[in-house]
Amino acid sequence: MIDLSLLPDGGMRWLDASGPKGSIVLSTRIRLARNLQGYAFSQRARDADRTAILTRVEEAVSASDRLGGGVGFRLDQMERGDRQLLHERHLVSKELAGLDREARPRPGAALLVQGPIGVMVNEEDHLRLNGLRSGFALEEAYANLEAADGELGQLLPFAFHAEFGYLTSCPTNAGTGLRASVLIHLPGLVLTKEIGKVLQGLSQVGLTFRGLYGEGSEVVGNFFQLSNQTTLGKSEEELLDHLGKIVRQVITYEEQAREMLLQNAPTEVADKTWRAYGLLKYARSLSFEETMNLLSGVRLGAGLNLIPGLSVYTLNKLLIFTQPAHLAALEGRSTGDPELPTMRATYVRRVLDAEAG
Amino acid sequence: MVCDNCKERDAVINLTQVEHDSKVTLHLCEQCAQEKGVETGVAVLKSPLGGFITAMGKGTANLLPTPADGLRCPSCGATLKDFRETGRLGCAECYQAFNTHLRDLLRRLHGSSQHVGERYAAPGQEEADPRHRLLDLKEQLRRAVENENFELAADLRDRIRVLE
């Protein structure tokens, strides 16, 4: 069992809903893809190269002002449940954690964390620097990350090309290597059936959307990750500025949709919210997917002040701690335990009862 | 599978809807899906941006021409065929080895192949003199005009302007 208490806030300060637009936007995440000169990219690298890369990155990180003194996790030496736990906290990708069927983490796969910055080592690219913030906070997330990247770039030789920019394993990331994503809750647009238009519009302005866990994941509970599609031919500031503008627009649409629902269908919205709350509070067995969908309904109600005394922070915590690996760790079971749905219901009930005081 | 709606044409899309907390999955043909307001992959392809959109993600490598498959990176040994199959390049040097193919692909993916973001020089390495880069681009422009590759020429002209 890994000791997550080593992370001062469990790597989850972003959950506290303290950031701007916290009731609609859960988190802002920016990642920079970097590779070291002189080694093949991760997929083609030999195991000896991968461990050598990890050693070099570890040395650079401990010599850095901003990243030194952090915590490291060797994914390749961890049990599956623990790896899944880090993935559920959005600290590592599915690929790095080796969670796909039959997959194992690559030798040298690691996560280094210092404050709001995480560095995945030996992911698809040698380094993936991640900056995570609560709410809608692109500028803050980038300022931190850029400084850490600048420091590492002076300690390690990154692969860079005058024309193509930072060189990445997949050409879809070349150039800036920057992907910014905003995790946003859009129940209003889904209920008013406007979501299709919005998502279609996104692809026309060079943005893309994904599910809760990023690439390849399904959309559950009306949570969407909106991010930039292209990484080359525009500066970092332009990319962030463009994403920021569009996300602000989507937030406005969502607020308008919620306003419209309140005006045109107040009973239906209240009913939906309270039904979801009732199920969460009294159900005796809950699947993770059902929990997500119910939390979405309750979150909408909390955002509209329909459910007094229920904080978004509590709902964010439920979102994380009802996930299979978290629940299993909490209860000392395996993630495949058939009793997990019962335990999930008990856990949700306990948290909601405590909140109601 | 036959379309759940018209029960005639083949279903090409699975539409999952959650209503009253129960999940309903409909298997629809392209036409019925469109009538229900769902943008199908087929329809996306027909739009002017279709080529661009499908170029994203795993489909990227398929945009490259096949005859050059045997082209090999001298540094890591990866071939253009490997890239076509995996969608991943072997190493940083592959960008130089497959230069012309990648430039074309990057322009289709990102709308440009010229990085305009932060410049970087590795510790102990000075960034290449921009004047050399400019001469190189002008030479490329001359060749592009010679070969009547005007799309590339326009792109090169833009890049030269940025540097100048």
Quick one: CA dihedral A297, A299, A305, A308, positive or negative? positive
Residue A172: closest CA among A218, A124, A127, A111: A124
- A-chain CB neighbours of B115 within 8 Å are 161-166, 174-176, 232-233
Interface pTM (ipTM) of the complex? 0.86
- A240 contact partners, CB below 8 Å, separation of at least 6: A30, A138, A139, A142, A178, A180
Q: CB-based contact (8 Å) between B106 and chain A? A: yes
Q: CB-based contact (8 Å) between A217 and chain B? A: no
Q: Which range is least confidently modeled, A132-136, A216-220, A226-230, B104-108? A: A216-220
Token digits of residue B134? 């400019």
Q: CB-based contact (8 Å) between B62 and chain A? A: no
Asked whether the predicted pLDDT for residue A102 surpasses 50, the reply is yes
**Tally of CB atoms within 10 A around B145:** 14
Q: CB-based contact (8 Å) between B109 and chain A? A: yes
- A-chain CB neighbours of B159 within 8 Å are 163
More confident residue, B118 or B4: B118
Nearest to A37 among B37, B38, B122 (CB): B122
Continuous H helices in chain A? 47-63, 80-88, 94-97, 138-155, 187-191, 195-204, 236-264, 266-282, 288-303, 312-321, 324-331, 340-356
Average pLDDT over residues A203-219: 81
Q: Which of B 16-35 lie inside 8 A of A, CB atoms?
A: 18, 21
Residue B113: closest CA among B60, B159, B145: B159
Q: CB-based contact (8 Å) between A267 and chain B? A: no
Q: CB-based contact (8 Å) between B105 and chain A? A: yes
- A-chain CB neighbours of B117 within 8 Å are 165, 175-176, 178, 234-236, 239
pLDDT digits (tens, 9 = 90+) for A3-46: 665 565 666 667 777 778 888 999 999 999 999 999 999 999 99
State how far residue B53 is from chain A, nearest Cα, in angstroms: 8
State how far residue A136 is from chain B, nearest Cα, in angstroms: 23
Longest CA pairwise span in chain A (Å):
64
pLDDT digits (tens, 9 = 90+) for B23-62: 667 777 777 776 665 554 443 333 333 344 444 444 455 5
Q: Which residue of B has its CA nearest to A222?
A: B18
Nearest to A41 among B91, B116, B123 (CB): B91
To test the contact with chain A by mutation, choose from B118, B138, B152, B160 the residue with the greatest count of A C-beta atoms within 10 A, namely B118
The predicted structure's pLDDT at residue B22 = 56
State how far residue B26 is from chain A, nearest Cα, in angstroms: 17
